[in-house]
Amino acid sequence: MLSRKASSESEAETVAKLAWNIAAPARCETPVIAANRGYCFGVGFEISLACDFRIGSETALYALPEQKLGQVPGSGGSARLQKMVGITRTKDMVMRSRRLAAKQALDWGVITECVADGELEKATDALVEELIGIAPLAQRSAKKLLNDTEDATLSLAIELEGQCYSRLRGSDDFREGVTAFHAKRKAEFKGR
């Protein structure tokens, strides 16, 4: 039988791993899309917040209801939400366990798109198709750049963006993109 201390340490380690796992979409090199319908509460909302794009159906409701359980969000939910909507709105949602309807989530910038309930899969597939047509090397670079500079000063972010821009200018995908543009044809990117 485990002692209380060993059990507590084990539980803390498990919770720390949960937060790491919830952040997987943010660490993924490729774009990650969350498609939300109905209730998107607690950890489900935290996973969604870690994604690059969030499409919600009109029936989607978002919440971090942990306060009603005597707890706070534990996997980055309040931190990510605050970056998106500011401290006032985050306090309103977290401290009151307030539910946010999809249309308001769109207005606040929490979701990328709000669609009719029956259109969620179609809208998600359309976004996937759009993203597939973009140069993968440029997408990976943009995602990493945006994630890495989220908390950077403006001058540092501009410097890192310039370095990224310079590196991509030497890529096969950049040459293909420019050639295709001039030839008025669709580019065929290879990710190099």
Single-letter amino acid code for the residue at 40: C
* Residue 167 CB partners (closer than 8 Å, separation 6+): 141
Quick check: is 66 catalytic? Answer: yes
Residue 45, classified by CB atoms within 10 Å of its CB into exposed (0-12), middle (13-18) or buried (19+), is buried
Quick check: is 159 catalytic? Answer: no
Marked catalytic residue, from 11, 13, 29, 46: 46
CB 72, CB 15: distance < 8 Å: no
Marked catalytic residue, from 13, 58, 66, 129: 66
3-state secondary structure 32-87: CEEEECCEEECHHHHHHHHCCEEEEECCCEEECHHHHHCCCCCCCHHHHHHHHHCH
Q: To which residue do tokens 């660490």 refer?
A: 27
Q: To which residue do tokens 């039988």 refer?
A: 1
Residues annotated as catalytic (active site), given as ranges = 46, 66
